[in-house]
Amino acid sequence: MQKLLELKDIVKSFGTHRAVDNISLSMHPGEKTVIIGPSGSGKSTLLRAINFLETIDSGSIFFEGHDVGYRQFKGKQVLDKPKIICKLRTQIGMVFQHFNLFPHMTVVENAMEGQVTVLKTTKATAHDVAMSMLEKVGMSEFADRYPSSLSGGQKQRVGIARALSMKPKLMLFDEPTSALDPELVGEVFATIKQLADEGMTMIIVTHNMGFAREVADQVVFMEDGSFLAKGTPNDFFGTQCQDPRIQSFIDRIF
Amino acid sequence: MKTRIEAITRSVVITTLLVLSLFALSAQAATPDPTGLNADALMRKASNIMVTGDLAGAIIIYLQIPAPGPEGDQGQFASSRMQAARLEFAMKNYSAALTVVDELLAVYPHNIEALQFQDSVKEAMMPQWKRLMQDTIKFVPHLLKGSLMTLLLVFFTIIISPIGGLLIALGRIGKFKPVSRLCWFIIWLFRGTPLLLQLFFIYYGLPAIGITLSPIPAALIGLSLNYSAYLAEIIRSGILSIDYGQREAAEAIGMSDWQAMRRIIIPQTYRVILPPVGNEFIALIKDTALVSTIAMVELMRTADQLFNASFNITVLGLAAVIYLLFTTVFTFAFEMLEARVGAYEKR
Ligand SMILES: Nc1ncnc2c1ncn2[C@@H]1O[C@H](COP(=O)(O)OP(=O)(O)OP(=O)(O)O)[C@@H](O)[C@H]1O
Ligand SMILES: [Mg+2]
């Protein structure tokens, strides 16, 4: 089966600091990858690079088999034209740690905005799609509320619905629950789990081991910009953990 | 027939009586007055008393100067009555002053001085509120006509300057260096110099390089440029105050820079920038007064002209009231707008 996403030797530096250092990763459709790792290890930078919110220094990103997002210009690798980048982004949904909902729009307008403005769907169609996505995340009854009146967990579920409304092929979650009160984490994970069960391809950055274990096909442990270890949840959370660095990180978490 | 003769006889009798009584009057005028002084002496005496400060005493003497007889007036009667009337006026005895002037007018009904004086006494006698109302009725139409031009200037500047301000702000934020520098320069120039100077420059200075503008375009250009520069800084800080996550969220669903700006960033700035923009627009209403210096006839200029012609302070008061009216309406309008625009945060 063709890979949905393939990263080859991605490098991203801030000044002299290599935030992402030579990372490669393959994702087949329907696969779920969980990235774990200490703070500052480059997890967010990697996710943002996949969505072209960060411009990588070198390496390539293949989406549905095509080398995308960058072109050669005067012997240097530069980001492709904005139009092409925007098109690519519509196929990749992103969910942010701090939700980043549009506060001046109602819940349903948040989920309609991308469809109407970017995809040029009619308002009626956009509304139908938005409502069905809100239904999926259990937020349809809040459609006409403004984000400021929602709890953190509700906000994040709207954030997921907003991303889903674009009908993306890949979903990126950057610590979707770390800004939430503990009692609200469950509802968001339930929503993501449901999405996973429906076959969505996704990359999830999280510190929640229990969730990683439940949802992941593949777990990667990232430190100092590189993947230190890759494996199945069982490799990580099973009894026979080989790598002392993974072991020490897991010890720190629990 | 008989009645006819009777009527004629009666009229002859009446005429005779009239002639006789005229004679009698002139005889009395010819005789020296009871005090034994002639009119000239009385005038002198009165003015001597007047300089001692005894105005009432002077008036009594002035009023002793008799009305002119048939052999003609020596001019003393008119001037004595005017003098007496002025003294009464000075002592705020307005009705007494009027009585004296009436006496004069009975003899000389067309005496200009007396007529004018009568008018000003009547004006002085009018109650304060009535005079104010009369002035108001007299001045307000002119002032309102002037206000139309003020409103026109405010209206167009309010349309133009937010657009100009937005363009300058975006240019300044943008990554293209030459445009960014140019926008910085515009802001620096127009915020750093007095609006009055800018108006002078545009109206009186530009002709030197061959650009001659009539007052209205010159005023509009000056006000618009100045206010665009001010609004640009407000809009720019408004845009920068919006969380960067908003921009990323917009980009993540595939929006272009401009779409993110227009749909996500700029609408969120309204809440932040509306209060300072409201302040600027209220300042603008008052700043339009400055264009009166470049031959624009608006509210301030109209008030100035009326004041110079009448020296009536009411004009300036009325102009102040009209400015206050405008600024008040604006203040309330902006408060309502702020409440509506910020509503999404409260719910
Ligand atoms: N825009 C930036 N400019 C400079 N340095 C940056 C920038 N963004 C990230 N970094 C640095 O890159 C490194 C990786 O950051 P990143 O946010 O990807 O880490 P992370 O794994 O997501 O951490 P966390 O778990 O705290 O979210 C950090 O050292 C960070 O300081
Ligand atoms: Mg992060």
Tell me the mean pLDDT in the region A23-44: 94
pLDDT on residue B76: 83
In this complex, do A102 and B253 lie within 8 Å of one another by their Cβ atoms? no
Residues in chain B: 347
Chain A residue with the nearest C-alpha to that of B341: A104
Confidence of residue B107 (pLDDT cuts 50, 70, 90): confident
Contacts of B251 in chain A (CB under 8 A): 53, 86, 89
B258 reaches A (C-beta below 8 A):
no
Give B85 or A247, the one with higher predicted confidence: B85
Probe site for chain A from B253, B262, B270 (most A CB atoms < 10 A): B253
Task: List the single residue in B248, B259, B347 with the smallest CB-CB distance to A100.
Answer: B248
Residue listed under structure tokens 């991303």? A163
Chain B residue with the nearest C-alpha to that of A148: B345
- Asked which of B24-33, B59-68, B183-192, B279-288 is least confident by mean pLDDT, the reply is B24-33
Confidence of residue B303 (pLDDT cuts 50, 70, 90): very high
pLDDT on residue A207: 87
A22's CB contacts (< 8 A; 6+ apart) are A9, A10, A11, A59, A225, A226
Rg (CA), chain B: 37
Tell me the mean pLDDT in the region A151-166: 96
Contacts of A163 in chain B (CB under 8 A): 252-253
List % helix, strand, coil for chain A (3-state, nearest 5): 40, 25, 35
CA distances from A63 to A82, A91, A224 (A): 17, 10, 25
Q: Round the average pLDDT of chain B to a whole number and report it.
A: 87
Confidence of residue A241 (pLDDT cuts 50, 70, 90): low
Q: Please write the tens of the pLDDT for every residue from B230-255.
A: 999 999 999 999 999 999 999 999 99
Residue B219 has pLDDT above 90, yes or no: yes
Q: Are B65 and B76 in contact (CB under 8 A)?
A: yes
DSSP string, B188-238: HHHHHS-HHHHHHIIIIIGGGGT----HHHHHHHHHHHHHHHHHHHHHHHH
In terms of CATH, what superfamily is B129-341? MetI-like (1.10.3720.10)
The domain limits of chain B are 32-125, 129-341
Contacts of A110 in chain B (CB under 8 A): none
Residue B324 has pLDDT above 70, yes or no: yes
Distance, CA of A125 to CA of A115 (rounded, Å)? 9
Give A167 or B62, the one with higher predicted confidence: A167
pLDDT on residue B4: 61
Residue B334 has pLDDT above 80, yes or no: yes
What structural domains does chain A harbor?
5-253 (3.40.50.300)
Residue A6 has pLDDT above 90, yes or no: yes
| Closest C-alpha residue for ligand 1 atom 18 | A42
Confidence of residue B6 (pLDDT cuts 50, 70, 90): low
B255 reaches A (C-beta below 8 A):
yes
Task: List the single residue in A53, A82, A145 with the smallest CB-CB distance to B252.
Answer: A53
Q: Round the average pLDDT of chain A to a whole number and report it.
A: 92
Task: List the single residue in A83, A87, A96 with the smallest CB-CB distance to B245.
Answer: A96
What ipTM does the predicted assembly reach? 0.92
- Burial (Cβ within 10 Å: 0-12, 13-18, ≥19) of residue A215: buried
pLDDT on residue B167: 96
Q: Are A113 and A105 in contact (CB under 8 A)?
A: yes
Q: Are B114 and B82 in contact (CB under 8 A)?
A: yes
Tell me the mean pLDDT in the region B199-203: 94
Residue B216 has pLDDT above 60, yes or no: yes
Tell me the mean pLDDT in the region B206-225: 93
Give me A56's structure tokens. 């990588």
Q: Above pLDDT 70, what percent of chain B? A: 87
Pocket test for ligand 1, best of A41, A95, A249 (most atoms within 8 A of CB): A41
In this complex, do A100 and B264 lie within 8 Å of one another by their Cβ atoms? no
Domain B32-125 has CATH 3.40.1280.10: no
Q: Which amino acid is at A100?
A: N
Q: CA end-to-end span of chain B, whole Å? A: 107
Binding site membership of A41 for ligand 1 (Cβ less than 6 Å): yes
Q: Please write the tens of the pLDDT for every residue from A84-130.
A: 999 999 999 999 999 999 999 999 999 999 999 999 999 999 999 99
Residue B346 has pLDDT above 70, yes or no: no
pLDDT on residue B50: 87
Task: Tell me which residue of A162, A218, A211, A161 sits closest to A182, measured CA to CA.
Answer: A211
A146 reaches B (C-beta below 8 A):
yes
β-bridge mates for residue A36, sequence order: A221
Residue B24 has pLDDT above 80, yes or no: no
Residue B347 has pLDDT above 60, yes or no: no
Tell me the mean pLDDT in the region B314-332: 94
Confidence of residue B34 (pLDDT cuts 50, 70, 90): very low
A81 reaches B (C-beta below 8 A):
no
A87 reaches B (C-beta below 8 A):
yes
pLDDT on residue B35: 46
| Closest C-alpha residue for ligand 1 atom 24 | A39
In this complex, do A104 and B344 lie within 8 Å of one another by their Cβ atoms? yes
Distance, CA of A249 to CA of A240 (rounded, Å)? 15
User: Ligand 2: distance of its center to the CA of B128 in Å?
Assistant: 76
Beta strand ranges found along chain B (DSSP E): none
Give me B82's structure tokens. 């005017």
Tell me the mean pLDDT in the region B316-343: 92
User: Ligand 2: distance of its center to the CA of A180 in Å?
Assistant: 15
Contacts of B254 in chain A (CB under 8 A): 86-87, 89-90, 114, 118-119, 166
Q: Please write the tens of the pLDDT for every residue from B187-198.
A: 999 999 999 999
Q: Are A52 and A88 in contact (CB under 8 A)?
A: yes
